[in-house]
Structure 1
Amino acid sequence: MKTLIPTNIITGFLGVGKTTAITHLLKHKPQDEIWSVLVNEFGEIGIDGAMLKSVNANVREVPGGCICCVAGLPMKIALNMMIATTKPDRIIIEPTGLGHPEEIINTLLGEYYDTVLDLRATITLIDPRKLGDSRYTENANFQDQIALADVLVANKTDVCGEPERLAFDNLVASFEPPKQAAFWVEQGALDAAWLDLPRTDHSVKNPQHHKKNRLSPQRELYNAAIRLPENERFVRRENAANGFYSCGWLFQPEIQFNFNQLFGWLSGADFLRAKAVMHTNEGVYMFNAENGVLSVNEVPLQSSDEILDSRIEVIDDKKILADEVEQVLLGVIIK
Structure 2
Amino acid sequence: MTKIDIVSGFLGAGKTTLIKKLLAEAYKGEKLVLIENEFGEINIDGGFLKESGIQISEMSAGCICCSLVGDFNKALKDVEAQFHPDRILIEPSGVGKLSDVIVAVENTVKDVPDMQLNSFVTVADATKVKVYMKNFGEFYNNQIESAGTIILSRTQKMTQEKLEAAVAMLREKNADAAIITTPWDELDGKAILSAIEKVSLADELLEKMRAEHEADEHEHHHHHHDGEECDDP
Normalised TM-score (structure 1):
0.52
**Do residues 12 (structure 1) and 6 (structure 2) align?**
no
Distance 1:51 1:142 in 2: 32
**Do residues 50 (structure 1) and 46 (structure 2) align?**
yes
The partner residue of 1:117 within 115, 118, 127 is 115
**Do residues 107 (structure 1) and 108 (structure 2) align?**
no
Distance 1:118 1:53 in 2: 23
Cα deviations across residues 15-55 of structure 1 (Å, max 9, x unaligned)? 10101101111111354321221112326x96546375275
Cα deviations across residues 200-242 of structure 1 (Å, max 9, x unaligned)? 22459x98xxxxxxxxxxxxxxxxxxxxxxxxxxxxxxxxxxx
Cα deviations across residues 134-189 of structure 1 (Å, max 9, x unaligned)? 5755432111000000111111223333343122321344256522x111143585
**Where does residue 151 of structure 1 map in the other structure?**
149
SS in 1 for 2:67: coil
CA contact (8 A) 1:137 1:143 kept: no
Name which of structure 1's ranges 29-38 and 125-134 shifts more when overlaid on structure 2. 29-38
CA contact (8 A) 2:16 2:43 kept: no
Task: Give structure 1 stretches of 5+ with no counterpart.
Answer: 208-335
Structure 1 pair 184–194 and aligned structure 2 pair: CA distance change class (3 A): same
Structure 1 pair 176–69 and aligned structure 2 pair: CA distance change class (3 A): closer
CA contact (8 A) 1:40 1:62 kept: yes
RMSD of the alignment, in Å? 3.1
Structure 1 pair 63–25 and aligned structure 2 pair: CA distance change class (3 A): farther
**Where does residue 196 of structure 1 map in the other structure?**
197
Superposition pairs for residues 205-216 of structure 1, below 5 Å?
Answer: none
CA contact (8 A) 2:9 2:123 kept: yes
Distance 1:134 1:6 in 2: 31
CA contact (8 A) 1:153 1:184 kept: yes
Superposition pairs for residues 247-326 of structure 1, below 5 Å?
Answer: none
SS in 1 for 2:176: coil
Task: Give structure 2 stretches of 5+ with no counterpart.
Answer: 214-233
Query: Hey, which of these two has a bigger chunk of strand by percent?
Result: 1
SS in 2 for 1:69: helix
SS in 2 for 1:164: helix
CA contact (8 A) 1:130 1:136 kept: no
Aligned residues: 201
Name which of structure 1's ranges 115-124 and 158-167 shifts more when overlaid on structure 2. 158-167
Query: Hey, which of these two has a bigger chunk of helix by percent?
Result: 2
Q: Which has the higher contact order (CA 8 A, sep 6+)?
A: 2
**Do residues 183 (structure 1) and 180 (structure 2) align?**
yes
